[in-house]
Structure 1
Amino acid sequence: MDTRAKTDECLILRGRDYKESDRLLIVFSRRYGKFSCLAKGVRRANSKLKAGTQLFSYSRLTFTAGKSLPLVTQGEAVEARAELREDLTKIACASYIGEVLDAVLPENKPQEGVFVLAAAALTLLGSLDEPFLLLSCFDLRLLAALGYRLNFDVCAACGRSTQGKTFYASPERGGVICAGCQGRLTDVYGEHFQPPRLSAGACRLLTGLLNWELRRVFKVKAAPAMRQEIDTALAFYLAYYLGAPAVRARKNLSVYYKV
Structure 2
Amino acid sequence: MANHYRTKAVVLSKKNVKEADQLFSLFSEDFGKISVLGRGIRKITSKLRSGIDTFYFSEVEFIQGKEIKTLTDTVALDKFHGSDRISEATEAIVSGQEKDRRVWDLLMESLGQGCSSEIACHFYFWNLLSISGYGFNLGDCLKCGRKLPEDNNTFSFGGGGIFCSCSEGDIKISANAIKLLRIILRKDWKTLARLSCPKTLFSELDSLSWKVQETLIRQHSM
Query: For residues 211 and 52 of structure 2, what CA distance do their matches in structure 1 show?
Result: 34
The amino acid of 1:43's aligned partner reads R
* 1:95 correspondence with 2:70: no
Count of aligned residue pairs for this structure pair: 219
Residue 175 (structure 1) shift? 0.8
TM-score by length of 1: 0.72
CA contact (8 A) 1:13 1:26 kept: yes
Aligned match of 1:50: 49
3-state DSSP of counterpart to 2:139: strand
Give the gaps of 5 or more residues in structure 1: 85-89, 183-193, 247-259
The within-5 A match list for 1:127-146 is: 128=116, 131-146=117-132
Aligned match of 2:198: 223
* Higher mean C-alpha displacement, 228-237 vs 199-208: 228-237
Residue 114 (structure 1) shift? 1.8
Query: For residues 156 and 22 of structure 2, what CA distance do their matches in structure 1 show?
Result: 42
CA contact (8 A) 1:124 1:215 kept: no
Residue 6 (structure 1) shift? 1.5
User: How big is each residue's C-alpha offset from its partner over 1:217-256, in whole Å with a ceiling of 9 and x where there is no partner?
Assistant: 443122344344433333333333x13499xxxxxxxxxx
* Higher mean C-alpha displacement, 155-164 vs 212-221: 212-221
Residue 32 (structure 1) shift? 0.8
Identical positions, percent? 24
3-state DSSP of counterpart to 1:132: helix
Given candidates 140, 160, 180, the residue that maps to 2:166 is 180
Aligned match of 1:116: 105
* 1:105 correspondence with 2:91: no
Query: For residues 244 and 209 of structure 1, what CA distance do their matches in structure 2 show?
Result: 25
CA contact (8 A) 1:21 1:43 kept: yes
Query: For residues 182 and 4 of structure 2, what CA distance do their matches in structure 1 show?
Result: 43
Query: For residues 58 and 72 of structure 2, what CA distance do their matches in structure 1 show?
Result: 13
Aligned match of 2:217: 243
Aligned match of 1:72: 71
Query: For residues 177 and 204 of structure 1, what CA distance do their matches in structure 2 show?
Result: 15
The amino acid of 2:147's aligned partner reads S
Judged with a 3 Å threshold, the aligned counterparts in structure 2 of structure 1 residues 102 and 69 are, in CA distance, closer, same or farther, namely same
User: How big is each residue's C-alpha offset from its partner over 1:28-50, in whole Å with a ceiling of 9 and x where there is no partner?
Assistant: 11121112111123233343322
Query: For residues 208 and 228 of structure 1, what CA distance do their matches in structure 2 show?
Result: 17
The amino acid of 1:203's aligned partner reads I
* 1:196 correspondence with 2:171: yes
Residue 156 (structure 1) shift? 1.6
Residue 140 (structure 1) shift? 0.9
Give the gaps of 5 or more residues in structure 2: none
3-state DSSP of counterpart to 1:181: coil
Judged with a 3 Å threshold, the aligned counterparts in structure 2 of structure 1 residues 204 and 11 are, in CA distance, closer, same or farther, namely same
* Higher mean C-alpha displacement, 218-227 vs 149-158: 218-227
Residue 59 (structure 1) shift? 1.2
Query: For residues 38 and 219 of structure 2, what CA distance do their matches in structure 1 show?
Result: 26
CA contact (8 A) 2:23 2:35 kept: yes
Query: For residues 120 and 42 of structure 1, what CA distance do their matches in structure 2 show?
Result: 30
Aligned match of 2:208: 233
Judged with a 3 Å threshold, the aligned counterparts in structure 2 of structure 1 residues 47 and 228 are, in CA distance, closer, same or farther, namely closer
Query: For residues 200 and 104 of structure 2, what CA distance do their matches in structure 1 show?
Result: 32
TM-score by length of 2: 0.83
User: How big is each residue's C-alpha offset from its partner over 1:111-138, in whole Å with a ceiling of 9 and x where there is no partner?
Assistant: 222223234434557x63xx33332222
